[in-house]
Chain A
Amino acid sequence: MTAQILNGLIVGSMYALVAIGFTLVLGVLDRLNFAHTEVFMFGAFAGLVAIDAGGIWWLALPFVFVVGGLFGMAVEFISFRRFEGDARITAALSSLAVGLVLIDLTQKVWGTEPVGMTIPGYVTTAGFELFGMRVVYVQLLILGVTLALMASLHLLVSRTRMGRNIRAVADSPAAASLLGIDVRRVTQDVFFVSSALAGVAGLLLAFRTGFANTDVGLTFGLKAIAIMAIGGMGDLRGAVVGGLLIGVLEALTFQFGVGKLGELVVWVTMILVLFVRPEGLFGGGVHVKDVRA
Chain B
Amino acid sequence: MPVADREEPPVLRVEALAKQFDGLRAVDGVSFDVARGEIVGIIGPNGAGKTVLINLISGFYPATSGSVHLAGEDVTSLPLHEIGRRGIARTFQNIRLFRRMTVLENVLIADQRHARRPARAFFAFGRQRTEIARAARYLELMGLAARADRLAGTLPYGEARRLEIARALATEPKLLMLDEPAAGMNEEETAELVQDVRRARAAVDAIVLIEHDMSLIQALSDRVVAMDYGRVMAAGTPAEVLADPNVQRAYLGEEGGP
In their complex, do chains A and B touch, with some C-beta pair under 8 Å? yes
* Contact (Cβ within 8 A) B61 A290: yes
Instruction: Judge if B80 is at the interface, Cβ distance under 8 Å.
Output: yes
Chain A residues with a Cβ closer than 8 Å to the other chain, count = 3
Q: Is the CB of B62 within 8 A of A293?
A: no
Q: Is B2's beta carbon under 8 Å from chain A?
A: no
B173 interfacial contact with A, CB 8 Å: no
- Give the chain B neighbours of A292 by CB distance below 8 A: 59, 62, 79-80
B residues in contact with A290, CB < 8 Å: 61-62
Number of interface residues of B (CB under 8 A): 5
Q: Say whether A293 contacts B80, CB under 8 Å.
A: yes
Q: Do the beta carbons of B61 and A293 come within 8 Å of each other?
A: no
Interface flags for B58-101 (1: CB within 8 Å of A; 0: not) read: 01011000000000000000011000000000000000000000
- CA gap between A292 and B58 in the complex, in Å: 12
Query: How far is it, in angstroms, between the C-alpha of A292 and the C-alpha of B63 when the chains are bound?
Result: 11
**B79 neighbours in A (Cβ, 8 Å):** 292-293
Which residues of the partner chain A approach B62 to less than 8 Å between Cβ atoms? 290, 292
Which chain A residue lies CB-closest to B80? A292
CB nearest neighbor in B for A292: B62
Q: In angstroms, how far is the closest chain B Cβ from the Cβ of A174?
A: 12
Nearest CB of chain B from residue A120's CB, rounded to whole Å: 51
> CA A139 – CA B149 in complex, angstroms?
66
A96 CB to closest chain B CB (Å) equals 24
Residue of B with least CB distance to A171: B22
Cα distance A293–B78 when bound, in Å? 10
CA distance A290 to B55 in the complex (A): 11
- Given the complex, which residues of A lie within 8 Å of B80, measured CB to CB? 292-293
Q: How far is the CA of A292 from the CA of B80 in the complex (A)?
A: 7
Separation of A293 and B83 alpha carbons in the complex (Å): 12
Whole-angstrom distance between the alpha carbons of A290 and B59 in the complex?
Answer: 10
Q: Which A residues touch B59, using CB under 8 A?
A: 292
Q: Whole-angstrom distance between the alpha carbons of A292 and B76 in the complex? A: 12
Distance between Cα atoms of A292 and B62 in the complex (Å): 7
A292 to B59, CA, bound (A): 8
Q: What mask results when residues 223 to 248 of chain A are scored 1 for a CB within 8 Å of chain B, else 0?
A: 00000000000000000000000000
| Docked complex: A253-293 residues within 8 A CB-CB of B | 290, 292-293
* Cα distance A293–B79 in the bound complex, in angstroms: 7
CB distance from A68 to the nearest CB of B (A): 34
Interface residues in B149-178 by Cβ distance below 8 A to A read none
Report chain B residues within 8 Å CB of A293: 79-80
In the complex, what distance in Å separates the CA atom of A293 from the CA atom of B62?
11
Nearest Cβ on chain A to B53's Cβ, whole angstroms: 15
Closest Cβ neighbor of B55 among chain A residues? A290
Question: From B19, which residue of chain A is reached at the shortest CB distance?
Answer: A290
A5 and B55 CA atoms in complex are apart in Å by 48
Q: Which residues of A contact B61 (CB under 8 A)?
A: 290
Q: A178: shortest Cβ distance to chain B, in Å?
A: 14
- Known contacts A290-B61, A292-B59; can you find 5 more A-B pairs with CB under 8 A? A290-B62, A292-B62, A292-B79, A292-B80, A293-B80
B residues whose Cβ falls under 8 Å from a Cβ of A: 59, 61-62, 79-80
CB-defined A-B contacts under 8 Å, sample of 8: A290-B61, A290-B62, A292-B59, A292-B62, A292-B79, A292-B80, A293-B79, A293-B80
Sorted from nearest, which 6 A-B pairs have the closest CB atoms? A292-B62, A290-B61, A292-B79, A292-B80, A290-B62, A292-B59
